[in-house]
A and B are shown apart, each in its own frame.
Chain A
Amino acid sequence: MRQRSLIAITAALAAGALTLTACGSRDDDGGGSDSGNGGGGTTVVIGVDAPLTGDLSALGLGIKNSADLAAKTANKEKTVEGITFKVEALDDQGQPSVGQQNATKFVANDKVLGVVGPLNSSVGESMQKVFDTAKLVEVSPANTNPALTQGVDWQTKKVRPYKSYFRTATTDAIQGPFAAQYVYNDSKKRKVFVIDDKKTYGAGLAATFTEEFKKLGGKVVGTEHINPDTKDFNAVATKVKNSGADVVYYGGEYPQAGPLSKQIKAAGAKIPLVGGDGIYSADFIKLAGASGNGDLATSVGAPVEELPSAKEFVANYKAAGYKEAYEAYGGYSYDSAWAIIEAVKKVVEANDGKLPSDARAKVVDAMQNVSFDGVTGKVSFDEFGDATNKQLTVYAVENGAWGSVKSGTFTG
């Protein structure tokens, strides 16, 4: 009977492994990058947590480089007298469990006075408590799930769960409805098929989109939740085609959105796929191929390239010679890092040019009142830690590149 039980064991193993898919350990890209000299005196480390390897690494590396650029700029301009900023990046692989380990590592390093990141809302969720207990400030350039700042019951009663958590990105509570209004009013679509990947970010975005789209008078002709571990969405694509939808809304990220868009069009439904900032990446176009043309994405803020305040950032980024593009969150990451620098500056100036012993807690308090003109416009935070800048932009794929179509603020 040994063989039979061996099969049983392996079958169980296989089933277990299916649920753990992407947990293969990757190398720990722990090496921080040296942010140049200057400033002298005390070194303050700005942690960066983002997916530096794997599917989402394009966005993650953009975050890391942009935060690094902020630190270098601060050192060069001696923004904070006597303080040298240094960026240390950890790779979370887009996994909440890894993110939490990274958070613990940052907390253990007492030179770390603030952390930029993470990219994924689900990772952010796992890190918040660790940082809050240690009174270490965290500024995310990309987390858009409303619950992170306004509590799980944000629709009815807003309660800020963690005092140390801030973000420069707009929330899905605004992004989903903004997309719904564009699709309904500007694209004149009436029948939507809503798909999400069941993750914190994707499901949240799909829900806020659906609510607003229905309110406007649109019809949801089908919903579907995909399994982000597979690349075969043909069964879903066939359902979309036969539903008679004239637009697809996808809450999720580009590694799935690209193939999904391609397979929906291949199935014969020539309708645009609309998504959030998670699909606003050059890699989406690479994965979707020619069928990506006409697809739409909303992303937080105005297009960095068109903002006068961002010209300097774009030029400096180029001059610094980073290998990877700054991608969707570059400007926000720079602003996140700069917010930490500003907060540190306030704390140091209030303490006669030296770091106080309880610097972390003081930085958290100072962050609440930070206000400066950043890459993406005016950067400051409301009582929940959300960005006060609530601008969004719709982008469309045209001839193999994202182009901005409409910018605006969602007013409810």
Chain B
Amino acid sequence: MNELPQQLVNGLLLGSMYGLIAIGYTMVYGIVQLINFAHGEIFMTGAFGALTVYVYILPDGTSMLIALPLMLLGAMVVSVAVAVGAERFAYRPLRGAPRLAPLITAIGLSLALQQAVWAWYPEAKSARTFPQIDGGPFHIGSVTLQTGDIFLFVAAPVSMAILGFFVMRTRTGRGMQATAQDPDTAKLMGVNTDRIIVVAFALGAVFAAVGAVANGLKYGQIDFKMGFILGLKAFTAAVLGGIGNIYGAMIGGVVLGVAETLATAYIADIPGLDKFGSQSWSDVWAFILLILVLLFRPQGLLGERVADRA
């Protein structure tokens, strides 16, 4: 049986997840040139926000049709609150500081958020189960899809379209573009850059929240460490796609996800490479791809030249 379509779908789903998280990295980087390593934890707190809504706020047995929008909302509220709080109290005081200071702050914040959830969220010391949407699986040709996958398949492009519209068409979006191009001039033109930066953090958090709910639905469990690896992969995706470019983040995510999946599925079939084909090697292949892309296109797949601002 030909497994290529199913493996492509697997990769596409994994990649969409990376892409949703990568948007947060890329937007913040595009505007303040900060690599927000705590973004993976913003994603993780979003997942716990959604779980809180389902387990502790909604009455037992609430239909997922009603629960899902409320869980999304809960995830967004928590993620945005954490992201905006991080910006206000951790990054803004360091705005004029050398670049490495906020970077280290971000790593510290990431660990602090993990430990906070581990210590204070009820029963979060091991994985917690996440509610599932009933029904499925669906078969399209040789491809099998779960209900959780369908949510991700719908949510990723829809949120991309909304984001594209927001950045291109609205006043705030244009303000973001202006700030990304040149913060000082944007300020002179009357753009409130402090506000724009907060909006960038908040928007990234909203996408992380969508990704978090999708992740919970897809894998059926969440834990306090979930944001760490996914965050690193998403950051990789953002660099691959061209950091600073929102479409690049999504494309980078999808390329990375598909590359990992196909590496798991097919490398072992290449004669002589059977030892390097298992899933435990897929990260290696993904990073080889990243290095190759950066060798030939240092700005990433869709990135613009940024050297003139250095």
Given known pairs A232-B219, A234-B13, A235-B264, the reply for A2 and B310 (CB within 8 Å) is yes
A259 an interface residue at 8 Å Cβ cutoff? yes
| Partner-binding segment picked from B1-9, B52-60, B246-254 | B1-9
Given the complex of chains A and B, what is the CA–CA distance between A223 and B228 in angstroms?
A: 28
Q: Which of A232-246 contact B (CB under 8 A)?
A: 232-236, 238-239, 241-242
Asked whether, in the complex, the Cβ of A2 is within 8 Å of the Cβ of B129, the reply is: no
Which of B111, B127, B129, B265 has the most chain A CB atoms closer than 10 A to its own CB? B127
Asked whether, in the complex, the Cβ of B280 is within 8 Å of the Cβ of A10, the reply is: no
Asked whether, in the complex, the Cβ of B125 is within 8 Å of the Cβ of A53, the reply is: yes
Given known pairs A3-B33, A55-B126, the reply for A18 and B239 (CB within 8 Å) is no
Asked whether, in the complex, the Cβ of B279 is within 8 Å of the Cβ of A21, the reply is: no
Given the complex of chains A and B, what is the CA–CA distance between A53 and B224 in angstroms?
A: 12
Given the complex of chains A and B, what is the CA–CA distance between A218 and B115 in angstroms?
A: 47
CB-CB < 8 A to A238: which residues of B?
Answer: 3, 6-7, 10, 265
Asked whether, in the complex, the Cβ of A266 is within 8 Å of the Cβ of B279, the reply is: no
A105 an interface residue at 8 Å Cβ cutoff? no
CB-CB < 8 A to B126: which residues of A?
Answer: 54-55, 57-58, 255, 283
CB-CB < 8 A to A258: which residues of B?
Answer: 221
A229 an interface residue at 8 Å Cβ cutoff? yes
* Interface of chain A, main secondary structure: helix
A405 an interface residue at 8 Å Cβ cutoff? no
CB distance from B213 to the nearest CB of A (A): 15
CB-CB < 8 A to B115: which residues of A?
Answer: 24, 26
Q: Which of B278-301 contact A (CB under 8 A)?
A: 278-283, 287, 290, 294, 298
A320 an interface residue at 8 Å Cβ cutoff? no
Asked whether, in the complex, the Cβ of A286 is within 8 Å of the Cβ of B10, the reply is: no
CB distance from B237 to the nearest CB of A (A): 11
Given known pairs A225-B278, A289-B129, the reply for A268 and B35 (CB within 8 Å) is no
24 pairs, A vs B, C-beta closer than 8 Å: A1-B310, A3-B307, A6-B99, A10-B37, A18-B229, A26-B118, A53-B118, A53-B125, A55-B223, A57-B125, A223-B278, A224-B278, A225-B279, A226-B280, A230-B279, A232-B14, A235-B260, A235-B279, A238-B6, A266-B144, A266-B146, A287-B129, A287-B220, A289-B132
Identify the B interface with A (CB < 8 A): 1, 3, 6-7, 10-11, 13-14, 33, 35, 37, 99-100, 103, 111, 114-115, 118-119, 125-127, 129, 132, 137, 144, 146, 219-221, 223, 225-226, 228-229, 232, 235-236, 239, 243, 260-261, 264-265, 278-283, 287, 290, 294, 298, 306-307, 309-310
Identify the 4 closest CB pairs spanning chains A and B, nearest first: A225-B278, A235-B264, A234-B10, A235-B261
